[in-house]
Amino acid sequence: MSAGRVLYKCGRCGRVFDLFQLQVLAPRIRCPYCGYRVIYKVRSPVVKKVKAI
Amino acid sequence: MLEEDGRNHTDRMINMVLVPVRCFTCGAPLGHLWEKFYERVKNGEDPEKVLDDLGVKRYCCRRMLVSHVQLIEELVHYSRPV
Amino acid sequence: MLGEVTGLKIKILEYDDRSIRFLVENIPLALLNAIRRLTISDVPSMAIDYVYFIENSSPLYDEIVAHRLGLIPLTSDRALEKYGPPEECRDNEERPDCYARLYLEAEASDGTKVVYSGDLVSDDEDVQPVYKNIPIVVLGPGQKISFEARARLGRGREHAKWSPVSAATHKYVPQIIVNSEKCYGESCAKCVNVCPKNVLKIKDGRLVVEDELSCSLCRQCEKVCPTDAILVSWKPNSYIMYVESTGVLRPERIVLEASRILEEKAEQLLSELEK
């Protein structure tokens, strides 16, 4: 997985897909596999540096 | 949001979700006192006496504990399923 | 105004792990106030500066967790000698003596789990959370959090989390003078009831000053006295100082460090002037 690629996860079936699959397989914003309309962004695997202020 | 005692706390939703680590005004650490405070008050002790007992002297620190609503306990059930 | 400081005397009134209250005699107010202000802004202590998040599926954002971590007091008594000064260590993560590392990895299996400051694993035993049960975050079923935090020495002037004190005050030493010829004693006792600090008492029908030092010089007793028998005053060049630590350093250490910093600053000024 590259750092720039954003992944999405279905809120019901839990399958992971990217933006391309989302646009091609589903006409609207919904899971391309089960059609569920709640979709989460998957946290990028990069370590994130945050200043503790 | 209905509490066990039937009171509605919706108007207090603006409160912090989780106990503040320190007093907003003077910076005295308080986060570690919350659970003791909450348990004792829930068991019917007078909040004033509990605060005195815990050594929370100033009113800036006292309001931190007295006015706190631990919303994260409820919120966590609606957070992202993994 | 300052002049020479002679005959300085210190008497400790109250002392415990968290706070110190002492009486200083023969000290100019400006000098004592300089020390007081330095305890707040210049005495260094350890606090988390950066957090590297590996995973966080908790209900709180990374930034909120990092903020909460920054506010956790870390023991600094030995770290003061061990770690580099704040000015050199700021954003200097390559230097080996600058940052202490604290790790945390937690996962809630089923049911919710509270992650406490005591769960932090430090790579330096001298840098530990002062209080072990500060809640950092609450995890729901299956949620995870994993991060590495870096702590360094800092000063209160940079961020309040590095300030070692939660209260640093000084006040005048009160002197309450009662004119027993004018005072009605027990039959009046108006001042006894009006005093918010309960300084005055009636003993054997006469007015006595019982707890002079806790007087806040509010002068309510003067105001209420029908015969002007009571007078609230203060001693010159004597003060009561109170320092309350957040737990990072011992209270007397904070005052000592502040005095040392003041000395350093004065010497710096002197050497600049002599150039």
A48, burial (CB in 10 Å: exposed 0-12, middle 13-18, buried 19+): middle
- The two structure tokens encoding residue A18: 């990217």
Interface residue B54 vs chain C (CB under 8 A): no
Per DSSP, what are the bridge partners of residue C232?
C176
In angstroms, the CA B12 to CA B2 distance is: 12
Tokens 């912090």, located at residue: B16
pLDDT at C4: 66
Do the chains contact at B79 and C140, CB–CB below 8 Å?
Answer: yes
ipTM for the whole complex = 0.85
Do the chains contact at B18 and C71, CB–CB below 8 Å?
Answer: no
Segments forming the whole domain that contains residue B32: 10-78
Q: Domain extents for chain C?
A: 9-42+167-242, 45-162
pLDDT at B8: 47
Is the pLDDT confidence value at C7 over 90? no
* Residues sharing a CB contact under 8 Å with residue C202, sequence separation 6 or more, in sequence order: C185, C186, C189, C192, C208
What's the one-letter identity of residue C53? F
Which residue spans within chain B are E strands per DSSP?
none
pLDDT at B10: 44
Do the chains contact at C73 and B82, CB–CB below 8 Å?
Answer: no
| For range C175-183, the mean pLDDT | 92
**CATH (residue range C9-42+167-242):** 3.30.1360.10
| For range B34-61, the mean pLDDT | 96
Question: pLDDT of C158-171, one tens digit each?
Answer: 999 999 999 999 99
**CATH (residue range C45-162):** 2.170.120.12
pLDDT at B5: 52
Q: Does the residue B51 lie in any domain? A: yes
C82, burial (CB in 10 Å: exposed 0-12, middle 13-18, buried 19+): middle
CATH code for position B69: 1.10.10.60
> What element of type H or E holds A39?
strand A39-41
Interface residue B76 vs chain C (CB under 8 A): yes
| For range B37-54, the mean pLDDT | 96
Q: Hey, what domains does chain A have and what are their CATH numbers?
A: 1-53 (2.20.28.30)
The pLDDT mean for chain C works out to 94
Residue C211 near residue C157 (C-beta atoms within 8 A): no
Up-side HSE of residue B82: CA atoms within 13 Å toward CB? 20
Number of Cβ pairs closer than 8 Å across B and C?
A: 74
| For range C208-217, the mean pLDDT | 93
**C-chain residues within 8 Å CB-CB of B82?**
57, 142-144
DSSP state of A52: -
Q: Does the residue B4 lie in any domain? A: no
Do the chains contact at C72 and B82, CB–CB below 8 Å?
Answer: no
Q: Into how many domains does chain B fold?
A: 1
Rg (CA), chain B: 14
Query: What's the gap in Å between the CA of C93 and the closest CA on chain A?
Result: 13
Do the chains contact at C143 and B77, CB–CB below 8 Å?
Answer: no
Residue C251 near residue C19 (C-beta atoms within 8 A): yes
Question: pLDDT of A4-52, one tens digit each?
Answer: 688 988 888 888 988 888 877 766 788 888 888 888 888 888 999 999 9
Q: Which of C46, C54, C64, C105 to mutate to test the interface with A (most CBs of A within 10 A)?
A: C54
Q: For residue C4, report the phi and psi dihedrals to the nearest 5 degrees.
A: -95, 140
User: The pTM is what?
Assistant: 0.87
Helix (H), strand (E), coil (C) string for C146-201: EEEEEEEEECCCCCHHHCCEEEEEEEEEEEEEECCCCCCHHHCCHHHHHCCCCCEE
Query: What's the gap in Å between the CA of A45 and the closest CA on chain C?
Result: 7
Is the pLDDT confidence value at B12 over 50? no
> Strand, helix or coil at B50?
helix
In angstroms, the CA B25 to CA B61 distance is: 8
Q: What Cα–Cα distance (Å) separates residue B14 from each residue in B11, B60, B79, C65?
A: 7, 18, 18, 19
- The two structure tokens encoding residue C3: 């002049």
DSSP result, C75-118:
--TTHHHHS--HHHHTT-TTSTTT-EEEEEEEE--SS-EEEEGG
**C-chain residues within 8 Å CB-CB of B80?**
57, 59, 143
> Strand, helix or coil at C196?
coil
Residue A50 near residue C51 (C-beta atoms within 8 A): yes
pLDDT band at A1, cuts 50/70/90? very low
Is the pLDDT confidence value at B48 over 90? yes
